[in-house]
Amino acid sequence: MIDVEDLIALVRNYNPRTNAELIRRAYDYGRRMHDGQFRHSGEPYFTHPVAVAAILTEQRLDDATIVTALLHDTIEDTRSTYSEVAQMFGDEVAELVDGVTKLTNLQLSSNASKQAENFRKLFMAMSKDLRVILVKLADRLHNMRTIRSMRADKQAQKARETMEIFAPLAGRMGMQWMREELEDLAFKVLNPEARTSIIRRFVTLQKETGDVIPKITADIRHELEKAQIEADVFGRAKRPYSIWRKMEEKQLSFSRLSDIYGFRVITRSESDCYAVLGLIHQRWRAVPGRFKDYISQPKSNGYRSIHTTVSGRDGKRVEVQIRTRQMHEVAEAGVAAHWSYRDGVRAANPFAVDPAQWIAQLTERFDEGDHDEFLENVKLEMYSDQVFCFSPKGEVVKLPKGATPIDYAYAIHTRIGNSCVGAKVDGIRVPLWTRLKNGQSVEIITATGQRPQATWLDIVKTGRAKAAIRKSLREEDRTRFVKLGTELARVAFEHVGRKVSDKALRTAAKTLGLPDEVELLARIGSAELTAREVIEALYPELAVAPAETVEPARAVLGLPADQTFRRAGCCQPLPGERIIGITYRGQGVVIHAADCPVLAEFEEQPQRWVDLHWHSGRHAPVYSASLKLTISNDAGVLGHICTLIGQQKANISDLNFVDRKPDFYSLMIEVELRDVEHLHTLLTALEAESNVAQVERYRDLTRKP
């Protein structure tokens, strides 16, 4: 364990004016509070807070953060209290320790809905003071470094949580070194065989080719000396997980994998960065599509650097990053550079990002009401890389890698996104699903009356676009669902001899734990709630125990036990309809609806008629019926209709286009239903859809029984 004077010496290396007495008091207090506690490894527990503090000194953080690291587990795990910490070390430290305690208590690897809510709490804590998450990340890093002393199941849980949450969060904050180490430590737990294989292959490669890092480093330094440019050059092999991920993404074997070496050139000025870039491209051949200039277009976390990949010595691809010393400090510390100290004062790094602005950027567009959506957006934001596009006026729009023109439209304004009908990229009309590239100029084409399509959700990349599209679809669907729910409720009430009223619906909503009758109707219309459930909530005496599902083989009553039957293809009778059976020699009985015109052919053969009726129980949704629809010829309409049918718990077994016109399609859809009531519910839902001009049940009387 590092003793207190060594820890103070680490702080003094970058902050000679540190309050050494404050750190000593925190060290002594933490050691006393944790006295008698031990880690899984058997070491005194206080070794952990000291190690966390040491990790934070590497980022040159302020005294309050170092003291918080020493005390971060005291309120949670000892008899220490918030008021005692505040009294002894000040309100700032007490608030930070309390914030870390709350983060520790969040179960981020819990079920999806719980995880989403806890993720929101994590970001709320970050928004108050980002140093809380810096301490938490250092805490997680030390725990991952010492994870082998934990139970195997706990190791797996912590490793997954690290890989899914803490590693990408560190990367999003610009602390790339921490992200890489966290990922590799988690990889070591989750897939040790793969990691060992990568290391073994890498060792074999070094034996075959020698250690190329010092050779390429020497080559770069030689070019710099010739041009009389002062700069530091560092080279390294990429971490096993980084190599493994690239192999998985590109579906390449290790032998075919390139650029497993990375080099950094740290210059004295920004102009030297571009001079070094020119030297490297003159000396080695640049790999097309592998150049990024984050100096002219910085990342939102303050990261600035030039990235290029070249075919280096012996044709090996190597990645070179070029940046100034100040840029490098931000690249190492990320958002934490805001608190970095040098020579006893806060480092005035012009590239350090204001944490308040950064966290506001990350969370400003998240919908407060939808926790799952918040979680999805946060993960999208944390994992995103960036591309930079230009508006027709030359303004720069930052988007994540893989973004489309729809993402671009929503990045400009929600109104532009909602009314988007097309896009031009570099002056050429392109499909809306086109993936944008760095430096492209994008122009959005809009139209009055256009609305977002459900299919856009599978196209867009950004959290902002997804949230805006879902909001628009919810508003549009809600109106339709309320209208449909009103009709379904009316029919259900009439069926039991009751009259539907606003008061009855309000009472039912209250009984079912819903806010009001509008929400009740919307849920009926969207099939989240059945009208029968509403009736039973109001009139329990009408409730009946749910019947068992009737097997199709015994769905019809009135036949001998050994008699087979089948439904007539002409009228496709459904359970709930009146039916007549017609006997066929060697074919059993064919069932027709009682109003089927084909029955007229058998009027002179009464001996073939069999009086039948359907079983009164609940039938399985296996009875096909044909629907004829006329729908508007607009993007996404057919997909929306299919989704609507699925929402009504009906399965599409066949679909054929009958006629195609510029403005409308006519099509036949065969669906599988439970009974005639299921059919009526589906028809009502389709009739209420604005893009459906006409819908009817179709009976093909030319089809043979």
Whether residues 71 and 117 fall in one domain: yes
The predicted pLDDT at position 401 comes to 79
Q: Rounded to whole angstroms, what are the CA distances from 441 to 389, 404, 405, 433, 436?
A: 6, 12, 10, 16, 9
3-state secondary structure 109-171: CCCHHHHHHHHHHHHHHHHHCCHHHHHHHHHHHHHHHCHHHCCHHHHHHHHHHHHHHHHHHHH
Whether residues 517 and 604 fall in one domain: no
The predicted pLDDT at position 105 comes to 66
The predicted pLDDT at position 303 comes to 84
What's the CATH number where 644 sits?
3.30.70.260
Chain position carrying tokens 């599978």: 458
Beta strands 261-267 and 317-324 are parallel
Task: Give a yes or no: residue 376 inside a domain.
Answer: no
Task: Give a yes or no: residue 430 inside a domain.
Answer: no
The predicted pLDDT at position 120 comes to 60
Concatenated DSSP letters of 156-220: HHHHHHIIIIIHHHHHHTT-HHHHHHHHHHHHHHH-HHHHHHHHHHHHHHHHHH--HHHHHHHHH
Taking only the tens place, the pLDDT of each residue in 692-703 is 888 999 988 777
Task: Give a yes or no: residue 431 inside a domain.
Answer: no
Whether residues 93 and 123 fall in one domain: yes
Whether residues 535 and 584 fall in one domain: no
Average pLDDT over every residue of 74-90: 90
Whether residues 632 and 656 fall in one domain: yes
Question: Residue 259: which pLDDT band, with cuts at 50, 70 and 90?
Answer: low
Average pLDDT over every residue of 611-620: 86
Whether residues 71 and 150 fall in one domain: yes
* Cβ atoms < 10 Å from Cβ of 297: 15
Residue ending a domain, choose from 601, 617, 633: 617
What percentage of the chain reaches a pLDDT higher than 90? 26
Residue ending a domain, choose from 346, 362, 380: 346
Task: Give a yes or no: residue 407 inside a domain.
Answer: no
Q: Would the pLDDT of 426 be above 90?
A: no
Catalytic annotation, residues: 76-77
Q: Would the pLDDT of 542 be above 90?
A: no
Taking only the tens place, the pLDDT of each residue in 487-520 is 888 888 887 777 888 888 888 888 888 888 888 8
Q: Would the pLDDT of 183 be above 60?
A: yes
Task: Give a yes or no: residue 456 inside a domain.
Answer: no
Which residue range is the domain that position 675 belongs to?
A: 623-698
**CA dist., res. 18 & res. 683, Å (int):** 75
Task: Give a yes or no: residue 200 inside a domain.
Answer: yes
The predicted pLDDT at position 649 comes to 84
Taking only the tens place, the pLDDT of each residue in 95-117 is 889 888 877 766 555 444 455 55
Residue ending a domain, choose from 567, 592, 617: 617
Q: Which of 87-101, 121-135, 290-304 shows the lowest mean pLDDT across its residues?
A: 121-135
The predicted pLDDT at position 369 comes to 46
Question: Residue 368: which pLDDT band, with cuts at 50, 70 and 90?
Answer: very low
Taking only the tens place, the pLDDT of each residue in 34-52 is 999 998 888 999 999 999 9
What's the CATH number where 219 sits?
3.30.460.10
What percentage of the chain reaches a pLDDT higher than 70? 85
Whether residues 207 and 293 fall in one domain: yes
Average pLDDT over every residue of 82-95: 92
Whether residues 37 and 182 fall in one domain: yes
Q: Find out whether 186 and 242 touch, Cβ atoms under 8 Å.
A: no
The predicted pLDDT at position 70 comes to 95
Average pLDDT over every residue of 437-453: 86
Question: Residue 5: which pLDDT band, with cuts at 50, 70 and 90?
Answer: very high
Taking only the tens place, the pLDDT of each residue in 269-313 is 999 999 999 999 998 888 877 788 889 888 777 789 999 988 866
The predicted pLDDT at position 132 comes to 87
The predicted pLDDT at position 333 comes to 76
Whether residues 211 and 324 fall in one domain: yes
Question: Residue 670: which pLDDT band, with cuts at 50, 70 and 90?
Answer: very high
What's the CATH number where 53 sits?
1.10.3210.10
Whether residues 151 and 238 fall in one domain: no
The predicted pLDDT at position 207 comes to 72
Task: Give a yes or no: residue 508 inside a domain.
Answer: yes
Whether residues 530 and 579 fall in one domain: no
Number of domains in the chain: 5
Q: Would the pLDDT of 320 be above 90?
A: yes
The predicted pLDDT at position 278 comes to 93
* Cβ atoms < 10 Å from Cβ of 343: 9
In 338-401, which ranges are E strands?
Answer: 341-342, 345-346, 386-390, 396-400
Average pLDDT of every residue of the chain: 82
Question: Residue 408: which pLDDT band, with cuts at 50, 70 and 90?
Answer: very high
Task: Give a yes or no: residue 436 inside a domain.
Answer: no
**CA dist., res. 6 & res. 178, Å (int):** 23
Whether residues 605 and 488 fall in one domain: no
The predicted pLDDT at position 254 comes to 57
pTM of the shown model: 0.55
